[in-house]
Structure 1
């Protein structure tokens, strides 16, 4: 069942989404070689507590951490741990918050130092594809229009692998609602987009092939060929003429550019 939100509910959702944006911007300030992914997760836990919000991911179907931190060949759902970030790594930080009865949920991929040129391009193209999809998130279009736009830019134009097993989703009082929003598909296919629908659009794009597998922990999803994967995600409300992006990358990008340990000139 698809749940549509009224304007008051959408503003509450915007507050949750912007808290995720603020959290990710604070994370951008502390990233550097040598920091462990577990310490990043602990930082996120403290920041959300200070802002009187609950981490959406913690204990969700048994997930044991506050965030998903996915490095290099990890597509999504990476477990924070003892791994120390190093020069040339890419790291997707995915955060969910629950506040005022609604969830915010989005992600951003950071580059530690300067990765290989082909990885920098993958990050750039994946981020571009997110906005290509958002351009189609308007009333009267269909889910497949979003999916096709992302696939066309990443797979058809650049030859990257578009993950099939994981998709974007509706968002609201539950963290995962209908409809599913794949990153591949046909124009004009799928449910019609109507005003008041909020979706998390999240391209997950591999440098190599589309194939993935899940680690023995039951959560960590990796590329089968061991090549890097990039993940970006925005919370988006469907409107008549232009999608309303509830989350905000601007403070994240400002913090990213200010951190000398991060590469952001792409």
Structure 2
């Protein structure tokens, strides 16, 4: 589960650049979510995010991600747009959104070589299924339970255990198998993995300079997933709907700093009685 390479530790200045990238991601997600409506296509949403990122002087993290040395085979979108039973990595295209759809939008941006990564789930118009509404809320709250478990000197799986404990207490939800959060910084995906379940006290220590993307992905049914023929889109095997919420975080000597939240996480951290610890400019 955990690689042998040491996690990348950032300097305060590098974390500030990641915060700038995180703010671009937050702006792109806000703008894209505001455009979610019946009749819009997922590629039109992709264009909204692309414009926000370009206007900020940033670069998209996802576009061409995974391309080979010839520049082929990379992810073809600026954002991932995953609808209903699609868990993650949905490719923007000509799919037209319908009222009641549950849409997970994942976005990454780069500022001066440093990445931010976040995701949210939104409904198209009025949601038709109360169970899907609760699924998204539980996933959102599980994210913040995981964030709240991060402490200097703690271990990465303290986050994992907090997510699993919260989800289990809410009902019978699937925690999507094989999908985890990750270290992030000078690359999008880095050591260490951040699983969404497991025992606490394992994995690398949480130290100053470590940045993590925490991202629970839950389903209304089985935890089993499969990859479609496009080699990117991951769906639930049983066709149940899924939700995805994510933030990039770091822990400073003062507390938690949510790099991809517009306010740095201050409001929700205060709501949960957790210390807010941004670095000064």
Q: Work out whether the TM-score is over 0.5.
A: yes
> 1:241–1:142: structure 2 CA closer, same or farther, 3 Å change rule?
farther
Cα–Cα, structure 1 residues 241 and 99, in superposed 2: closer, same or farther, change >3 Å?
closer
Describe the SS at the equivalent of 1:60. Answer: coil
Decide whether the 8 Å contact of 1:54 with 1:98 is kept in 2. Answer: yes
CA shift at 1:82, angstroms? 1.1
| Counterpart pick for 1:110 among 119, 122, 128 | 122
Determine which of 173, 187, 193 is the counterpart of 1:180.
193
How far apart are the structure 2 equivalents of 1:35 and 1:42?
A: 11
| Inter-partner Cα distance in structure 1 for 2:47 and 2:199 | 41
Deviation at 1:141, TM superposition (A): 1.2
Does structure 2 retain, via aligned residues, the 8 Å contact 1:160–1:205? yes
Matched, 1:92 2:104: yes
Which whole-Å CA distance do the structure 1 matches of 2:192 and 2:112 have between them? 22
Q: For 1:169-208, what aligned pairs fall within 5 Å after superposition?
A: 169-208=182-221
Question: Per-residue displacement from partner, 1:182-232 (whole Å, max 9, x unpaired)?
Answer: 001101122211111000000011111100000011110000110110000
1:107-153 per-residue CA deviation (whole Å, 9 max, x = no partner) reads 11111122210000011111000000001111111111100111111
For residue 67 of structure 1, the aligned residue among 76, 79, 85 is: 79
Cα deviation digits, residues 1-21 of structure 1 (max 9, x gap):
311111111111000001100
**SS of aligned partner of 1:69:** strand
Residues 1-266 of structure 1 correspond to what in structure 2 (within 5 A)? 1-61=6-66, 62-115=74-127, 116-240=129-253, 242-248=255-261
Give, in whole Å, the separation in 2 of the partners of 1:117 and 1:4. Answer: 42
TM-score, normalised relative to structure 2: 0.86
Q: Quickly say closer, same or farther: Cα 1:182–1:7, change in 2 above 3 A.
A: same
Greater relative contact order structure (CA < 8 Å, 6+ sep): 1
| In 1: Cα distance, 2:254 partner to 2:237 partner | 40
**TM-score normalised over the length of structure 1:** 0.91
Pairwise CA distance, 1:249: 5.4
Q: What RMSD in Å do the two structures reach over aligned CA positions?
A: 1.4
Paired residue for 1:256?
A: none
Q: Alpha-carbon deviation of 1:27? A: 1.1
CA contact (8 A) 1:206 1:228 kept: yes
Aligned residues: 251
d(CA) in 2 for partners of 1:69, 1:225: 20
Tell me how far 1:238 sits from its aligned partner.
2.0
